[in-house]
Amino acid sequence: MKPWLRAPASLPGFPRITAMAVAEGPATGAQNGRPRTAPVHPALQAGHLQQLARRARSPFILVHPTGAVPHSDWLGAALELMEGAPDLAAISGGAMEGGQRPRPTLCLDAGAMLARRSALVHSGGLARTLQGQGDGLDLAWRLWAMGQRVVSLPVGAGPGPFRPAGDSCSVYQAHWSWLQILVRNCEEEVLGRAFSSTLLRLMAAAGEAAEQTAVPCREGQRAADPAAPGAAIQHVTALRRDPAASREPRYRVSRGAGEMLVAVHDATLLLPSAFDQRKQVQALRRVPDAEIEARIGRPPLEVVEEQMAALGRAALQAEMTRAGEG
Q: Which domain holds residue 41?
A: 3-190+260-325
Q: In a 3-state reduction of DSSP, which class is residue 10?
A: strand
**Cβ atoms of residues 160 and 144 within 8 Å:** no
- Cα distances (angstroms) measured from residue 313 to each of 74, 257, 307: 32, 11, 10
Residue 239 falls inside a structural domain: no
More confident residue, 218 or 153: 153
Q: Which of 40-49, 77-86, 266-275 has the lowest mean pLDDT?
A: 40-49
The band of 288, judged by pLDDT with boundaries at 50, 70 and 90, is very high
Count the alpha carbons within 13 Å of 95 in the hemisphere toward its beta carbon. Answer: 3
**CA–CA distance, 207 with 197 (Å, rounded to integer):** 15
* pLDDT for 20: 81
Residue range 263-277: average pLDDT?
Answer: 92
Residue 220 falls inside a structural domain: no
Residue 241 falls inside a structural domain: no
* pLDDT for 157: 44
* pLDDT for 30: 32
For residue 52, pLDDT over 50 is answered with yes
The band of 100, judged by pLDDT with boundaries at 50, 70 and 90, is confident
Residue 179 falls inside a structural domain: yes
**Cβ atoms of residues 38 and 166 within 8 Å:** yes
Q: Nearest CA to 91 among 109, 111, 114, 71?
A: 114
Looking at every residue in the chain, the average pLDDT score rounds to 77
**Cβ atoms of residues 43 and 49 within 8 Å:** yes
**CA–CA distance, 34 with 184 (Å, rounded to integer):** 21
Residues 6+ positions from 282 with CB-CB distance below 8 Å: 188
Strands (E), 254-322: none
* pLDDT for 84: 94
Domain count, the chain: 1
**CA–CA distance, 233 with 261 (Å, rounded to integer):** 11
Residue 201 falls inside a structural domain: no
Residue 210 falls inside a structural domain: no
Residue 64 falls inside a structural domain: yes
**CA–CA distance, 94 with 108 (Å, rounded to integer):** 10
The band of 277, judged by pLDDT with boundaries at 50, 70 and 90, is very high
**Cβ atoms of residues 175 and 168 within 8 Å:** no
* pLDDT for 104: 95
Residue range 40-62: average pLDDT?
Answer: 71
Q: CA geometry: angle at 175 spanning 169 and 176, to 5°? A: 95
Q: In a 3-state reduction of DSSP, which class is residue 46?
A: coil
- Beta strand 34-36 with 215-216 is unpaired
**CA–CA distance, 259 with 269 (Å, rounded to integer):** 15
The band of 209, judged by pLDDT with boundaries at 50, 70 and 90, is confident
Q: In a 3-state reduction of DSSP, which class is residue 103?
A: strand
Residue 135 falls inside a structural domain: yes
Q: Which amino acid is at 2?
A: K
- DSSP percent split of the chain into helix, strand, coil, nearest 5: 50, 15, 35
**CA–CA distance, 100 with 298 (Å, rounded to integer):** 20
Q: In a 3-state reduction of DSSP, which class is residue 62?
A: strand
Each residue of 215-268: pLDDT tens digit? 776 544 444 444 433 333 444 444 444 555 555 556 677 788 888 889 999 999
Q: Which amino acid is at 209?
A: A
The band of 294, judged by pLDDT with boundaries at 50, 70 and 90, is very high
Q: In a 3-state reduction of DSSP, which class is residue 261?
A: helix
* pLDDT for 10: 67
